[in-house]
Amino acid sequence: MPAATDTNLSAVLYSVKNLRLEERPIPQPGPNEVQIEIQEVGICGSDVHYWQRGCIGDFVVKAPMVLGHEPSGIVSALGDGVKHLKIGDRVAIEPGVPCRMCDWCKEGKYNLCPDITFSATPPYHGTLTRYYVHAADFCHKLPDNVSFEEGALLEPLSVGLHACRRANITLGSHVLVCGAGPIGLVSMLCAKAMGASKVVVTDISDSRLKVARDMGADGTINVGGKEPKALAAEVIALLERAPNSSIECSGADASIQLGIYATKAGGTFVLVGMGAAEVKLPLINALVREVDVRGIFRYANCYPTALEMVATGRVNVKPLITHRYTLEDSLDAFETARTGAGGAIKVMIHCGRQA
Ligand code: NAD
Ligand code: ZN
């Protein structure tokens, strides 16, 4: 339980480029909820986007909103009815809580629930705060050998896992991952953990491609200035055959075109990156070669498996973290995430009081 003197310092986005630190009330858990003393929160590109632009598509920040949706922490109070957690448990918080009633929830596709409440997607507050209240069934208990930072990284890792599941990756797959940002890198890690025998990663940044190689990519291509069709031939040569599965994690038009040209006939191409709302694509090429083009939106039923992968050492997400800040230094953290200064990939904010 928080002490009577405790405060609830939070990083609140008021309007475009207006991020402030302020004290907010400490929230109390209702039935089937837990209060969590937040420890670590990773900054995601969408947090930076809300800060810089005030909106993502139809989601517009109209009232002050706490940022952050990649959290881990310690259970500090229990609401009525909570059975599977106790005070002091270390947890990763899955930030999207669906209605549990609609068709999509019942079908297990709860990421598509129209009534989902997702941390730091307006109008819902995020987790860059000392104390946060969340649905207990969307808090995943961490074993002792999984750190709070790794717990926070289960969020992007779940995106990568969902992408790999939708891409039908299996033992022996040859895979193309476009984009070596955090999402491309976790997709590459998941693909390898799920048995892919060869993964090639693209980017326009040599430093990011070096990180991809250091983290296990079998080959990398700097795509800068090259045509998608010529690049597809390069990908196929490097993989020694066309990829069964391709996962696009940059959102760039040219990269989506490459994904269609490169993917093996009968294979699967998954779109993760969110770029322009409308893109010109060689769809007939996909049609005549029966390349399935699929999108993903966040993830469903991925946290438990992502946690198992980390706990058993099948994936090592730690190298993603390049910068660490405290909650008090959130503005500096966001500036680093925005500029990518110092080779920033994943910027982590420590929200706990102790180091
Ligand atoms: P990021 O911006 O850190 O990474 C994108 C990478 O793509 C960068 O390294 C950039 O250099 C590279 N890139 C740019 N042009 C390229 C090109 N033509 N070919 C190859 N690489 C190119 O972003 P991130 O956090 O890794 O997220 C990646 C994308 O995934 C973003 O568009 C984000 O909005 C999206 N996303 C989607 C979901 C979802 O549910 N679908 C979830 C999370 C993130
Ligand atoms: Zn629902």
Say whether both 251 and 333 belong to one domain: no
Residue 266 in contact with residue 286, Cβ under 8 Å?
no
82 CA distance to ligand 2 middle (Å):
21
At 71, is the secondary structure helix, strand, or coil? strand
Task: Evaluate whether residue 285 is within a structural domain.
Answer: yes
**Tokens 């476009």, residue located:** 178
105 CA distance to ligand 2 middle (Å):
4
Say whether both 106 and 172 belong to one domain: no
Ligand sitting nearest the alpha carbon of 206: 1
35 CA distance to ligand 1 middle (Å):
33
Task: Evaluate whether residue 307 is within a structural domain.
Answer: no
Say whether both 327 and 285 belong to one domain: no
Task: Spell out the residues 6+ positions from residue 68 whose beta carbon is closer than 8 angstroms to its own.
Answer: 11, 41, 43, 47, 119, 120, 126, 127, 128, 129, 349
Task: Evaluate whether residue 82 is within a structural domain.
Answer: yes
Query: Which of 177, 183, 186, 204 has the most ligand 1 atoms within 8 A of CB, as the residue to mutate?
Result: 183
Say whether both 259 and 335 belong to one domain: no
Ligand sitting nearest the alpha carbon of 178: 1
Q: Please tell me the predicted confidence (pLDDT) of residue 355.
A: 67
Around 338, how many Cα atoms within 13 Å sit in the side-chain half-sphere?
Answer: 14
The closest residue, in CA terms, to atom 42 on ligand 1 is 298
Question: Which residues are 117's β-sheet partners?
Answer: 97
Task: Evaluate whether residue 329 is within a structural domain.
Answer: yes
Indicate the pairing of strand 18-23 with strand 9-15. Answer: antiparallel
Say whether both 129 and 232 belong to one domain: no
Residue 157 in contact with residue 189, Cβ under 8 Å?
yes
Ligand sitting nearest the alpha carbon of 300: 1
Say whether both 133 and 185 belong to one domain: no
Query: Which of 190, 206, 249 has the most ligand 1 atoms within 8 A of CB, as the residue to mutate?
Result: 249
Query: Which of 158, 274, 294, 299 has the most ligand 1 atoms within 8 A of CB, as the residue to mutate?
Result: 274
Angle at CA of residue 201, ends 169 and 342, nearest 5°: 130
- DSSP 8-state class, residue 264: P
Closest CA to 268 of 189, 174, 194, 185: 174
Residue type present at position 120: A
The count of other CB atoms within 10 Å of the CB of residue 337 is 24
Can you give the CATH number for the domain in which 130 is found?
A: 3.90.180.10
Say whether both 288 and 163 belong to one domain: yes
Task: Spell out the residues 6+ positions from residue 67 whose beta carbon is closer than 8 angstroms to its own.
Answer: 11, 12, 13, 19, 47, 50, 51, 120, 126, 128
Measured from the Cα of 298, ligand 1's closest atom is 40
The count of structural domains within the chain is 2
Ligand 1 is surrounded, with C-beta below 6 A, by 45, 159, 178-184, 202-205, 208, 223, 249-252, 254-255, 272-274, 296-298
Task: Spell out the residues 6+ positions from residue 31 whose beta carbon is closer than 8 angstroms to its own.
Answer: 79, 80, 81
Task: Evaluate whether residue 187 is within a structural domain.
Answer: yes
Is pTM beyond 0.80? Reply is: yes
Cα-based distances in Å from 35 to 99, 179, 191: 20, 36, 35
Measured from the Cα of 159, ligand 1's closest atom is 42
Say whether both 14 and 134 belong to one domain: yes
Measured from the Cα of 162, ligand 1's closest atom is 40
Say whether both 209 and 286 belong to one domain: yes
Say whether both 89 and 115 belong to one domain: yes
249 CA distance to ligand 1 middle (Å):
4
| CA 81 to chain centroid | 30
Q: Please tell me the predicted confidence (pLDDT) of residue 7.
A: 87
Task: Evaluate whether residue 151 is within a structural domain.
Answer: no
180 CA distance to ligand 1 middle (Å):
7
Task: Evaluate whether residue 2 is within a structural domain.
Answer: no
251 CA distance to ligand 1 middle (Å):
6
138 CA distance to ligand 2 middle (Å):
14
CA distance 302 to 339: 30
Around 138, how many Cα atoms within 13 Å sit in the side-chain half-sphere?
Answer: 26
- DSSP 8-state class, residue 313: T
Say whether both 112 and 214 belong to one domain: no
Q: What is the pLDDT along the chain (355 residues), one digit of tens a residue?
A: 777 778 899 999 999 999 999 999 999 999 999 999 999 999 999 999 999 999 999 999 999 999 999 999 999 999 999 999 999 999 999 999 999 999 999 999 999 999 999 999 999 999 999 999 999 999 999 999 999 999 999 999 999 999 999 999 999 999 999 999 999 999 999 999 999 999 999 999 999 999 999 999 999 999 999 999 999 999 999 999 999 999 999 999 999 999 999 999 999 999 999 999 999 999 999 999 999 999 999 999 999 999 999 999 999 999 999 999 999 999 999 999 999 999 999 999 999 987 6
50 CA distance to ligand 2 middle (Å):
25
Phi and psi at 24, nearest 5°, equal -125, 165
Question: Which residues are 199's β-sheet partners?
Answer: 175
Domain that holds residue 269: 159-295
Can you give the CATH number for the domain in which 278 is found?
A: 3.40.50.720
ipTM associated with this complex: 0.99
Largest interatomic CA distance in the chain: 67
Say whether both 32 and 118 belong to one domain: yes
Task: Evaluate whether residue 147 is within a structural domain.
Answer: no
Q: Please tell me the predicted confidence (pLDDT) of residue 103.
A: 98
